[in-house]
Chain A
Amino acid sequence: MELSEEENSHIYGAAANPLGHGHNYIVEVAIAGEPDPVTGMILDLKHLKEILEEKVLSVYDHRLLNREVAPFDRIVPTVENIAIDIWNRLERQIDSTGRARLYSVRVHETNELFVEYRGEV
């Protein structure tokens, strides 16, 4: 299903500007798990930082999401869809480390709006 220009501007308002617009997004990733009895950690934060850099930040940062980051060539880069996409990029990476699992991905689009995804269908 495709929406007309008019429907788009009605639904998205200023965010439908054909020339696009930018945000300083903030991503918050929550990990759940039992702490390792030796290290006292559920996940080495250095490792988490590397995963975030490689799988998310280097892919998204300073890009035109609609053109340069899949799947946003096909789906609308709302903050809802961005949270889901980041979850999909991270889930297996974090699972593979053992104790920790991805609990939630929160994406703040502005100070007044964020979306959280916990992998629910």
Chain B
Amino acid sequence: MTVRLARRYGFSASHRLHSPALSDTKNRALYGKCNNPHGHGHNYEVELMVRGSVDAVTGRAIDLAALDRLAEEQILAPFRWRNLNEEVEAFRREVPTTENLAAEVDRRLRAIWDDRFGPSGPRLERVSIWETERNICQVSDYE
């Protein structure tokens, strides 16, 4: 039987929303307070939703310890307490909006997913990121 399992993690990081393609005035108008040159921080939450069939012996749809290790390695350790603009390669080129952050988390996990869980194992169905309680961005594999 196919279920969806969602696991949630948290990390704190800082960023500044500023596009090099726009003038300082346009950046300020577009991003407002988020354009503060000194940056600002968030307590991000990441939810990974996985679709898999429940193993008849273990009753599990995925090896949770392996999922936790993957998240720690690929997302939490590289992002935790970092300045995303300066310390995460992808955000030297892209603005670290919640949209781009969700896409980067999705890319990092998919790049290594099949090595960890096998091509016929559980699938990563959706990555969601809460920047605040009111600002959530999702990337799904079926869109």
> Cα distance A9–B122 when bound, in Å?
22
Question: Does A115 sit at the interface, judged by CB under 8 A?
Answer: yes
Query: How many A residues, CB 8 Å from partner?
Result: 23
Question: Does A45 sit at the interface, judged by CB under 8 A?
Answer: no
Contact A80 B5 (CB under 8 A): yes
Residue numbers in B under 8 Å from A5 (CB-CB) = none
30 A-B interface contacts by CB (under 8 A): A11-B58, A11-B63, A13-B65, A76-B58, A79-B5, A80-B3, A80-B54, A80-B60, A80-B61, A81-B54, A81-B59, A84-B3, A111-B8, A112-B7, A112-B8, A113-B5, A113-B7, A113-B8, A113-B64, A114-B6, A115-B3, A115-B5, A115-B6, A115-B61, A116-B3, A116-B4, A117-B1, A117-B3, A117-B4, A121-B2
Contact B6 A116 (CB under 8 A): yes
Residue numbers in B under 8 Å from A83 (CB-CB) = 3
Residue numbers in B under 8 Å from A116 (CB-CB) = 3-6
Q: Could you give, for residues 45-66 of chain B, a 1 whenever the CB lies within 8 Å of some chain A CB and a 0 otherwise?
A: 0000000001001111101110
Distance in angstroms from B27 CB to nearest chain A CB is 36
Closest 10 CB pairs of A and B: A76-B59, A78-B59, A120-B2, A116-B4, A112-B8, A80-B54, A81-B59, A115-B5, A117-B3, A80-B61
Distance in angstroms from A92 CB to nearest chain B CB is 17
Contact B60 A11 (CB under 8 A): yes
Given contacts A1-B57, A3-B57, A80-B60, contact A121 B1 (CB under 8 A): yes
Residue numbers in B under 8 Å from A121 (CB-CB) = 1-2
Sample of 5 further A-B pairs with CB below 8 A, known A78-B54, A116-B6:
A75-B59, A78-B60, A80-B60, A84-B3, A120-B1
Distance in angstroms from A101 CB to nearest chain B CB is 18
Distance in angstroms from B41 CB to nearest chain A CB is 21
Question: Does B9 sit at the interface, judged by CB under 8 A?
Answer: yes
Residue numbers in A under 8 Å from B4 (CB-CB) = 115-118
Residue numbers in A under 8 Å from B5 (CB-CB) = 79-80, 113-116
Q: Could you give, for residues 77-101 of chain B, a 1 whenever the CB lies within 8 Å of some chain A CB and a 0 otherwise?
A: 0000000000000000000000000
